[in-house]
Every structure is written in C-alpha cells, then in structure tokens.
Amino acid sequence: MKKIIFVIFFVMRLLKYIILINFLHFTGAVSAQMLAPKKYEYRAVWLTTIENLDWPRTKISVPADVGRQKLELVLLLDSLKSLNVNTILLQTRLRGDVIYPSKYEPFSAVLTGTPGKSPGYDPLAFAIDECHKRGMQLHAWLVTLPLGKMAHVKRLGRHSLRYKHPQLCRAYQGQWYMEPAEPGTAEYLKKLVNEIVSNYDVDGIHLDYIRYPDRPKNYPDHALYRRMAKGRSHADWRRDNITHIVREIYNGVKQLKPWVRVSCAPLGKHADLSAYSSLGWNAYNTVFQEAQRWLDEGIMDILFPMLYFKGNDFYPFVRDWQENSSGRHIVPGIGVYRLLSGEGDWPLVEIKRQLNTSRSAGTAGTAMFRTKHLLQDIKGVAGCYSCIYSNAAMVPPMPWASKGLLAAPANIRYEQCGDTLRLSWSAVKAHEGMPPVRYNIYASLQYPVDLSDTGNLVATALSDTSFVALRSPVATTYWVVVPVDAYGVEGWVAECKVEGCNPKLYRDEFNLPESSTWGMRVHIRSTSGVLLYDVPYNRCVGVRGLPRGAYMLEVALRDGTVVKRVPFTR
C-alpha cells in the first residue's frame, strides 16, 4: 500500500513539473508575439522616498539644496522616460508623515532631515508637474495602516497620529499601527486621501499595506472582535474591516474626481490554488485582504500584486489574478531587487520571463520594484526592459467608468510653412464635470490610418488644439486627431489629408562627426524645452526610446554652451 501511495505521489509531482516545463516552453515559443508593440500598457515603477531609498538623496539644509533635490528628481524622470516608463507610483505618505504640506500630518524628515520641517517647496506638486511634462502619470502612493517603529513615532512627537488620535493606534511587535476595526480609521484615511485628490492633479491614489500586520496570529484585537463580530468568524470580521476602509476611500475619491484611478498593492498570492500552494503566505488568509472581491464589487480600479517570487510561485498566480480581474486592471509587481546578491541573486532571464509572461497572460502591464535597481541596470535589467518595452505606450483606459465617446474635433485644417506642418482643430467639449479634453495625433501614408499601430502614433495627451511637426515634401499623408477623455478612452476621430508631408521620415539615430573636445554632451529636448536625454558625446546617438513627435538635438561644450542645434522628428 505504501508503494502505491508513493507511486501516485511521484506521478503527481512529475505531472506538475511537466506542466511547468510546457508552460515555460509556451512562453518562449510566443516570445515574438509578446514582444509586439502594445498601444496600451502600464509601464510603472515604485519610486520610494522612505529612508531616501530612491529619492531624494539630498536633504535640504540651505536654500540651494532645493534646486539640487529638484534636479535629482528631474534626472530620475528623464531616465525613466527614456525606458518608456509611463506611470510613477510616488511614495507620498511614508509612516504617518508626508512629502506635501498637509493639515493632518507633518512633513517627513526625508526631505530636510528634521521631522515636520518644510522643505521650502511642495515636492508633490513639483513631481506631478514634471511627470505631466513628460507624458507620465503620477499616482500618490500612501502607506496606510503602519505608522512606523516606536522610535520614529516618538521623533514625530506632538505631530504624530499616536499623539493626536491615540484611540486609532495600536502597538504590535515594536511598531505602531492604525487599528483597522476602529470606525475612525477609515474616516481618517479617507480625509487624508481626499486632501490629496482635492488639492493636486494626481492621476491615481495607490494604497499600500492596506492589510493587517504580517502573520498577525497574536494581534491584540480580541476584545474588539467580541464586541463587534456579530456572528462572523474572526477572519471574516478582519477581512470586512479592511474592505470597509477600501470602500470608504474609493467612494470618497470618486465623489471628488471620478477619473482618478484607485489602486493597491496586495500580497502577490491571493490564496492557495488547486495545484499550487501559497506556502502559508497569501493575501486572503494571512493578512485578510479580499482583493479579488474589491475588483468584483467595483471598489478598486487596479491591483499591483507584489509578485516578488519566481517559478511556480509566480507564473500560476499571475494567471489567477488575471482570470479573476472582473474586467479591471491587473499589473504584476516585478521584484527587480531580487537580482541583488543578497536578495536572491536571480539571473536576468527570470525577470525577462516574468515580463513576457505577464504580457502573454493578458495583464495590463507591469510595475518594477524599485526605481533605483532598474536604473542601476543590475545585470543588464534596464536593457532587457527597454528591449521588451521598445515602444512608447499609453496608460490603459478605464472604459467601465467612461461617460461615452467624445465627439470628433471640428474644423480640422493644416498649414505648411517651410519645413513645418501645423495642424489645428476646434476644441471638443468635455463631458459634464470632467476636466478638459486631451488629444492624440496619428499619421500614416496608408488610408485608413490604423489606430492600433503604435508606429502611427505621433503625439499623445495634447492639451492644445494644435500640433506642429517637421515635414518632408515627399508623399501624401493622412493625419487623424482623436479626442481623449479623462478615463483615457478615445472618442470619434477627425481626419485630414495633407499633400507632400511624410511623417515616416523619423530619425532612429544620429551619426555625429568625431570630436577631440573632451567633456562634450548631447542633449535631446522636447519642443517645449524639457530636457529628455543628457548623454556623453558619441558618434552614434540612438533616439529609438522617444515617442513619436518633434524634438531638438543639441551638442554642448563642457561648460554648457550649445554649439549646434538640429531639429528632428522621431
């Protein structure tokens, strides 16, 4: 009998590995398909501010430090833009402290070195403005329930939540937390989120640690449970407490600005699967996050599950999230830090497989944790990323929230003057209560213009009702102007036929002459003057990472003096 049981067990394990091998073979076989450019895809990064991990590196002690701190962020965003990243999850609330002027919580010490001290500018407003200049979305990332270690809370003093609202706080395993069961917790977090949504043009609110403490077997909430359970099990009661907080925050955001996206980062595995165990570490049973229910109920727009695992701990769980997405967006979190020798020492191919598998599973994109590790190009990860995400993509729309297709732009017309083409059109009226309409521009030598082909996408999210491009008098070109609502949904199109303008004469690289002058730089700027690239002088300068549009190449001396300017269209 024991031999029979052993044989059955062995066969089951063998079948499990055969399934995995076939799955990995499948992901390799369709790699060409997965590498095909996608028009809509989240290319997100977590930009961490706690302990100055990603930004800022400079703490402000004198006024000149403000410029240095801002420049650090500008250079980070330029680098991320060159990789076709389109979504920044910026850590805005850390542990009961924030990086913007708030009437509820103090400035974080990461900005100045002193808790509660103003940095002399508004870092959140600055970051939003710089992201939008580059066509990126900014989602304010808030750590919700943890308030930090005892020493941190003590340093915050009278400004701490523990001092101002002690009834909302609970000590557990050397740290302070907001108590999920207290009705005031949901109310407080809702006010904090609403402050950001009301005062800033954020594209999203991203909730982190919206869960009970890790492995909370001895978490001291038994008295509250006995008073409030109403027949529910302890686990169900805890799950309901977290869901209540999520629902209150989501509804609060949507009442203010329904187009602002609400997301969270649950544990990477929702629950055990029929064929794969979560090994005792999952969102539903371990920390009481009922995240798939939030999607089904419609109180969450995006999930960024933290899938910092490999092999059978990654692939089947990605598909589980996507199969239970209820039509909302699933964006797997990829653990770039696991490439480090002290964090797993993964081979680069593991990250490549995870990016490709996430795409083949039909997810809405990926998010990289963290920014620093991606930009440090550990084991060549930045090159791998830019190869897979070689095209610029737009953030996926939210059709479930859109109020219907916008009307086509009227009075589309063009003017040609020298080497430029200027398109213009009449503004499209936004839906009632919505922000102003933006516009996407497409162009092609073929008619009708294929709007699904990212190669035809010339410009995105324009706020103006005009667009200027370089032209070449070679062929007839067909241009399309498409209005875009606040949910990212494209409306009815307006078309324009232009004689003698060929938008296909884009530049992928520049071959510059040899130079013996030491320290020269090459700059790439947008038409509005935003610096996108700043690289050492090289005979060959690639610009494939830029989205379609008009740009300016500059050659500058070591002291910054520009000696040559060349306009070009990508």
Would residue 401 count as lying in a domain?
A: no
Q: Where are the beta strands (DSSP E) in 403-549?
A: 413-417, 420-424, 438-444, 457-462, 466-470, 477-484, 494-498, 509-511, 521-526, 531-536, 540-542
What pLDDT does residue 343 have?
97
Q: Which of 388, 405, 423 is the last residue of a domain?
A: 388
Would residue 394 count as lying in a domain?
A: no
Residues 341 and 461 in one domain: no
Residue 142 to residue 189: CA distance in whole angstroms: 10
Residues 475 and 548 in one domain: no
Residues 245 and 284 in one domain: yes
Residues 263 and 373 in one domain: yes
Residue 414 to residue 468: CA distance in whole angstroms: 10
What pLDDT does residue 508 have?
58
Q: Which one, of 208, 220, 149, 142, lies nearest residue 181 by Cα?
A: 220
Residues 452 and 382 in one domain: no
Say how many domains are in the chain. Answer: 3
H or E segment to which residue 170 belongs: strand 169-172
Give the pLDDT confidence of 197-244 residue by residue, as tens digits. Answer: 999 999 999 999 999 999 888 999 999 999 999 999 999 999 999 999
Q: Which of 335, 354, 388 is the last residue of a domain?
A: 388
Residues 80 and 186 in one domain: yes
Domain at 301, CATH number: 3.20.20.80
Would residue 376 count as lying in a domain?
A: yes
Would residue 396 count as lying in a domain?
A: no
Q: Which one, of 457, 460, 470, lies nearest residue 567 by Cα?
A: 470
What pLDDT does residue 23 have?
43
Would residue 23 count as lying in a domain?
A: no
What pLDDT does residue 16 have?
44
Residues 148 and 264 in one domain: yes
Residues 370 and 450 in one domain: no
Question: Cβ atoms within 10 A of the Cβ of 207, count?
Answer: 26
N- to C-terminal Cα separation, the chain: 71
Per-residue pLDDT of the chain (570 residues; tens, 9 = 90+): 444 444 444 444 444 444 443 444 444 434 444 446 789 999 999 999 999 999 999 999 999 999 999 999 999 998 998 888 999 999 999 999 999 999 999 999 999 999 999 999 999 999 999 999 888 999 999 999 999 999 999 999 999 999 999 999 999 999 999 999 999 999 999 999 999 999 999 999 999 999 999 988 899 999 999 999 999 999 999 999 999 999 999 999 999 999 999 999 999 999 999 999 999 999 999 999 999 999 999 999 999 999 999 999 999 999 999 999 999 999 999 999 999 999 999 999 999 999 999 999 999 999 999 999 999 999 999 989 988 998 889 999 999 999 999 999 999 999 887 777 889 999 999 999 999 999 999 988 889 999 998 878 888 888 889 988 766 545 678 899 999 999 999 999 999 988 765 443 345 566 676 665 666 788 888 766 778 777 777 666 667 667 667 778 888 887 778 887 777 776
What pLDDT does residue 509 have?
62
Dihedrals phi, psi of 526, to nearest 5 degrees: -75, 170
Q: What is the DSSP track for 419-439?
A: TEEEEE-PPPPPPTTPPPPEE
Residues 445 and 562 in one domain: no
Residues spanned by the domain of 215:
39-388
Residues 276 and 224 in one domain: yes
Residue position matching structure tokens 């992201």? 131
Would residue 179 count as lying in a domain?
A: yes
Give residue 160's identity as a one-letter amino acid code.
S
Residues 163 and 306 in one domain: yes
Residue 449 to residue 91: CA distance in whole angstroms: 40
Residue position matching structure tokens 């190669």? 455
Q: Which of 447, 474, 498 is the last residue of a domain?
A: 498
Would residue 98 count as lying in a domain?
A: yes
What pLDDT does residue 514 have?
66
What pLDDT does residue 31 have?
43
Residues 311 and 448 in one domain: no
* In contact, 131 and 88? CB cutoff 8 Å: yes
Would residue 208 count as lying in a domain?
A: yes
* In contact, 78 and 533? CB cutoff 8 Å: yes
Domain at 456, CATH number: 2.60.40.10
Residue 254 to residue 252: CA distance in whole angstroms: 6
